[in-house]
């Protein structure tokens, strides 16, 4: 488990981090969303996806509860 931000190569997502089954996603426009109850392996899949934005949309939205925090 890490509390460090991982910069990702994405046209929409700047960086991601994982903490206590919560995934933090910082977008290029500065907004941050959290996704709750996410298994660590799912975070690893997101972090290493060839398209982070597409993976996020396909596997996180409407799957895990999320909210904008910043």
User: What confidence tens digit (pLDDT) does each residue in 5-61 have?
Assistant: 999 999 999 999 999 999 999 999 999 999 999 999 999 999 999 999 999 999 999
Q: 50 is written with which tokens?
A: 């060839």
The residue written with tokens 């996410």 in the block is 38
| Sequence ranges of the domains in the chain | 6-68
44 secondary structure, DSSP code: H
Tell me the β-bridge partners of 19.
Answer: 22
Number of C-beta neighbours around residue 32 at 10 A = 15
Q: Which two tokens stand for residue 64?
A: 């895990």
Report field, pTM of the whole predicted structure over 0.85: yes
Give CA separation, 69 vs 10, 24, 26, 36, 45, in Å: 21, 9, 10, 12, 23
């Amino acid at each position: 488990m890490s509390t460090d931000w991982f910069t990702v190569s994405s046209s929409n997502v700047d960086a991601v981090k994982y903490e206590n089954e919560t995934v933090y996603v910082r977008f290029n426009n500065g907004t941050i969303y959290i996704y709750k109850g996410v298994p660590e392996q799912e975070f690893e899949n997101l972090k290493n996806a060839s398209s982070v934005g597409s993976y996020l949309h396909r596997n996180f939205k409407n799957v895990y509860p999320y909210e904008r925090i910043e």
